[in-house]
A and B are shown apart, each in its own frame.
Chain A
């Protein structure tokens, strides 16, 4: 069974801290890995997509890495802000079907 695990399930940190969210998956035969954020009652916003041939992607204060051999991806958020508070989901693309982690609920305290 293909599984995606996200640790921690919840995280609360003071504003300004750098933080790392973890995502692990059991099958290294992936096409790509995508990170999303979801705000309460809202849809999903794509943050970063890492192709299987890539090691990392960066967008502003966000950096996502991918290590297929160990089945891990990390999302690094620099200089966190209260507006970063949301649930962060990773999903591996198994050909076209996204297999989802349960998410990390992030709270940034002002």
Chain B
């Protein structure tokens, strides 16, 4: 079955750029049936949607992060990635990737296990 696995540096310094990758296994990222999302959760807080990408490269972002975030897809590697620039301590969170159905009725059905990112000097 489909699995998602996040990978990233663990620790990022303030003002630097965070880069995360989600590797898709057991299915193709090039499916026209799904979007691919990034979500984050600061320690002890709720979930925040960051943005999404379709295999064609079509993307949408949360306006609260839009000026700092970029999501892109690499279909040859079956991966999609997140870049978040100018990070601060407020970007410390668990970052999840997820698959979401193209039909807005269905939502996110498969999630990665999450990767913890700490912003600190």
A and B together in one complex:
no
A residues contacting B by CB (< 8 A) are: none
